[in-house]
Chain A
């Protein structure tokens, strides 16, 4: 079997990071759990935000986790793909808005 940096089975071991730094690991997971509870935003809305961000930060573990989370919540594939596009639009917008900087610099340097 070929070796890769990412092993899907490693996601199951995520909790083990606490073993090497109990205080920080515990604080992180408490915070993480709290963030995704029902609040001003529903847990369903937060799941879709997490899915979009998972794509933007290109985390394969997160994509696996929040695709499954979405399925569990009854989120449709159309909703999931729209969330991915929302993330992609912000990411490409973030690149393109730098075009203004390029235009500014171009104008500044040109006679």
Chain B
């Protein structure tokens, strides 16, 4: 198996951007403080939104830990092998109690590499008994080939009818490895072929396999359907790989991607691109309006990005142990300039475009 290159997280390096307050300071000052670009709250106010409120809850997204076998350049979680934040079985039990009674139709497990949580399989087994319509696991693919103990994951996913959603920044090795680390492309291709062998991603198969495309650099994704066409053609011709849908996701200017933007002197241009591509029709469908994000330690957030910025829900219910959907649905969504990432172009969410 090819060796997967690993580096250290911002946290491990004690980088100033590991501090979420520093990230928010950058996002709130500079070109936004000077008025060169409008703040997100002012922009949505121009379209009659004095604030953002949730609509019907559809997705419960649970981050089971920040540990990962990869250290991707753009990672908004700042995940990596050196991150030790892992959801305990006790918190998972609290999540299961919530899943039993939630109105959400989709359960979305993410990380890090969720499979690295020692209680991952137990949690999937228990959660899959609770009648959730769509049960997603966000797998980075390489974990399936990382160690013998993970080799049977495709069978485990299939046995529990898990919907697998995996990142794949490009259909070429060079672009993929540059963003995600050396060896990631080859390991991902092997993992995709194994998933295909179990029926995942095959035409007419009920075992869903979707891929996530996010740009490998300081630019925005283009039309999701056009990218899907290119991905399907290239992966089928070059590797005989099938998948169902491609989700095009915009990189949000936080954590390691913010670090990259600043270091490569692309930050201002990127923020201009996001603001220029602002699409008012994406605002009412942004994922924070139908999602609740739970962190490894049980805190509640409007989305995974707010979780990584430490912006907890603006509600008296803030923790999974006090979960009350009715109370939570009355909150205002916490916003900042990173939110432009979800309203650019056709909009962006963990489920792809929204507009």
Instruction: Mark A residues whose CB is within 8 Å of B.
Output: 12, 43-44, 68, 71-74, 76
**Nearest B residue (CB) for A15:** B276
Q: Which residue of A lies closest to B276 (CB)?
A: A12
B300 on the A face (CB < 8 A)? no
Determine if B170 and A74 form an interchain contact, defined as CB atoms under 8 angstroms apart: yes
Query: What separation, in Å, do the CA atoms of A76 and B217 have in the docked complex?
Result: 13
- Contacts of A72 on B, CB cut-off 8 Å? 215, 219-222
From the candidates A12, A71, A73, name the one contacting B272 in the complex (CB within 8 A): A12
Q: Given the complex of chains A and B, what is the CA–CA distance between A74 and B214 in angstroms? A: 11
Categorize the interface residue count of chain B. 10 to 19
Q: Does B132 contact A (CB under 8 A)?
A: no
Determine chain B's interface SS by DSSP, over half rule.
loop
Q: Please give, as numbers and ranges, the residues of chain B lying within 8 Å of A12 by CB-CB distance.
A: 269, 272, 276
Q: Find chain B residues with CB under 8 A from A43 CB.
A: 223, 226
Given contacts A72-B215, A76-B172, 12 further A-B contacts (CB under 8 A): A12-B276, A43-B223, A43-B226, A44-B226, A68-B219, A71-B217, A72-B219, A72-B220, A72-B221, A73-B222, A74-B222, A74-B230
| In contact, B272 and A74 (Cβ under 8 angstroms) | no
B220 proximity list for chain A (CB < 8 A): 72
Q: Judge whether B227 is part of the interface by a CB distance below 8 angstroms.
A: yes
Q: Is the CB of A71 within 8 A of B226?
A: no
Q: Is chain A's interface secondary structure helix, strand, loop, or mixed overall?
A: helix
Contact B219 A71 (CB under 8 A): yes
Closest chain-B Cβ to A3's Cβ sits at a distance in Å of 19
Q: Which 10 A-B pairs have the closest CB atoms?
A: A72-B222, A73-B222, A71-B219, A72-B219, A68-B219, A74-B230, A12-B272, A72-B220, A74-B227, A71-B217
Q: Who on chain B is nearest to A73 by CB?
A: B222
**Residue contact B172 to A71, C-beta cutoff 8 Å:** no
Q: In whole angstroms, how far apart are the Cα atoms of A19 and B303 in the complex?
A: 40
Q: Which residues of B contact A71 (CB under 8 A)?
A: 215, 217, 219
Q: Which residues of A contact B221 (CB under 8 A)?
A: 72
Which residues, 222 to 236 on B, are CB-close (under 8 Å) to A? 222-223, 226-227, 230
Q: Provide the residues of chain B in CB contact with A74, threshold 8 Å.
A: 170, 222, 227, 230
Alpha-carbon distance A68/B270, docked complex (angstroms): 11
Complex Cα–Cα for A74 and B219 (A): 11
Provide 22 A-B residue pairs closer than 8 Å at the C-beta atoms, listed in order of the A residue: A12-B269, A12-B272, A12-B276, A43-B223, A43-B226, A44-B226, A68-B219, A71-B215, A71-B217, A71-B219, A72-B215, A72-B219, A72-B220, A72-B221, A72-B222, A73-B222, A73-B226, A74-B170, A74-B222, A74-B227, A74-B230, A76-B172
